[in-house]
Amino acid sequence: MAKWNTDSIAGEILHRYQANLDLSYSGMTKEALPLLRAATRYFGSWQAAIEYAGLDYDAIRKYRSWTKDRIIERIRELHAQNADLSWRHISLTLDPSLAAAATKKSHFGSWRSALDAAGLDYDDIRRYRDWSEDEVIRRIRDMYAQGEPLNAKSMEKKDITLITAARRRFPSWDKTLTAAGLDYKGIVVRAPFRRKRKTESVRPTSPGGSQASSMAAR
């Protein structure tokens, strides 16, 4: 299909559904990757696209009979969606059946081992997600009180753990700063640096410049 939009994607999904074709995420990666990519681009996730088409995603998913490969595939799918993969969130909220299957002795035995098998760094995931909203806000306020730069570029260099956690707890870094009671516009503006350079460029560069000549003429 030359051009995709939300309705054409939903139409293709319904066409596959009516033809009794595989609509699971794993099936789509093998049989209809362009449709899968378009759906995740327009809707953010394959699940959102399925639900937009009026279908029950839970009924379509083929993860009822878990295998090691399906566990790894599901973890990578969630990671690609930027989902919270902390044990607490997975086991209690996001996908309890995945958590239960991954930690079976016949599979991986622990959530950490399952993440390792999926090629993910357990320590990074744990650090990024152990932060609560209150902890993120408290840390930001502390840094602000100490006069540290809080624009996103500086934070990515100085404390990537904090800004990553913030972006997972809030819609964006700007909204995180707002939640902390700070004026994000004033924090991200870099215009003063440009004005400073402009001011410096008009100063006389030598004693023989126009200012000196003016003094001599008096």
How many helices, marked H, and strands, marked E, lie in the chain? 17, 0
Domain extent listing, the chain: 6-60, 68-129, 133-191
Comparing 130 with 9, which gets the higher pLDDT? 9
Question: Measuring CA to CA, which residue among 72, 68, 66 is closest to residue 97?
Answer: 66
Virtual torsion, Cα 50, 53, 54, 55, nearest 10 deg = -40
At residue 127, does pLDDT exceed 70?
no
Question: pLDDT tens digits for 9-21?
Answer: 999 999 988 887 8
